[in-house]
Amino acid sequence: MVSIAVIDYDMGNLHSACKGLENAGAKTTVTDSHVDLAAADAIVLPGVGAFDPAVQHLRSRHLVEPIKAAIASGKPFLGICLGLQILFNGSEEGTEPGLGIIPGMVRRFRSEPDIVIPHMGWNTLSFKQTELPIWQGLGEHPYVYFVHSFYVDPVDPQIRAATVTHGSQEVTAAIARDNLVAVQFHPEKSSTAGLKILSNFVSLVATKTRSAVAV
């Protein structure tokens, strides 16, 4: 059974994400301890709320460097919603610097006639990295659940793993680079498709763990 550390920094309910991972066969530990992050087979960084408090809470718990070290080590990492946005350099929502793991900024949706902000509810993904393991078995344009007023704008467009269209704006819905995957939507609220994504992540972690043991 793979072990997944789910980072607790007072930015959202972690129960649903843990339940989805556990249903896929993982053992989860909700933690703000760098020791647990180092010991786990993989890390999940969820989050709901505002950008500035999120990075402040991570820094106050001395978790920024352990997160960077885990990602640099090749450990599988999944960011969810705010856990995607804080990986970037900064956000138009606030003034705090982000973690700077992914070059780019978090942008505010442009106001348009008949567009509702926040972008909230079900919408379809358009895959850009079609062979990504976490997308396997989802079909071509799966519906997933969004709640956000800001979106990530990476410097390197090649790391975009999926996009979503809201009004006339096509924005990044997920990124992937090496061992890091992060999504703007909420897999834990996205019914069958979301549970499949979490299951695919657990399978990916299990495969990597077996490979490491074999070596």
81 is annotated as an active-site residue: yes
What is residue 147's predicted lDDT score, i.e. its pLDDT? 96
Q: 57, 119, 148, 186: which one is catalytic? A: 186
The pTM of the full predicted model, rounded to 2 decimals, is: 0.96
Q: What does the pLDDT look like over 159-194, one tens digit per residue?
A: 999 999 999 999 999 999 999 999 999 999 999 999
CA pair distance 87, 154, nearest whole angstrom: 10
What is residue 214's predicted lDDT score, i.e. its pLDDT? 57
* 207 Cβ contact list (under 8 Å, min separation 6): none
What is residue 186's predicted lDDT score, i.e. its pLDDT? 96
SS3 (DSSP) at 127: strand
| Mean pLDDT on 92-102 | 97
| Mean pLDDT on 88-94 | 97
188 is annotated as an active-site residue: yes
What is residue 117's predicted lDDT score, i.e. its pLDDT? 94
- For 6, phi then psi, to 5°, come to -105, 115
What is residue 108's predicted lDDT score, i.e. its pLDDT? 97
pLDDT of 91 strictly over 80: yes
pLDDT of 101 strictly over 80: yes
CA pair distance 173, 123, nearest whole angstrom: 10
Find out whether the peptide bond into 118 is cis, omega within 30 degrees of 0. yes
| Mean pLDDT on 60-69 | 97
Q: 18, 81, 148, 166: which one is catalytic? A: 81
- Residue 116, Cβ neighbours under 10 Å: how many? 11
CB 55 within 8 A of CB 63: no
- Report residue 114's pLDDT band, with 50, 70 and 90 as the boundaries: confident
What is residue 213's predicted lDDT score, i.e. its pLDDT? 62
- Domains in the chain (CATH in brackets) are 3-214 (3.40.50.880)
pLDDT of 14 strictly over 90: no
Q: What does the pLDDT look like over 134-162, one tens digit per residue?
A: 999 999 999 999 999 999 999 999 999 99
pLDDT of 13 strictly over 90: no
pLDDT of 210 strictly over 90: no
62 is annotated as an active-site residue: no
| Mean pLDDT of the residues in the chain | 95
CA pair distance 78, 81, nearest whole angstrom: 10
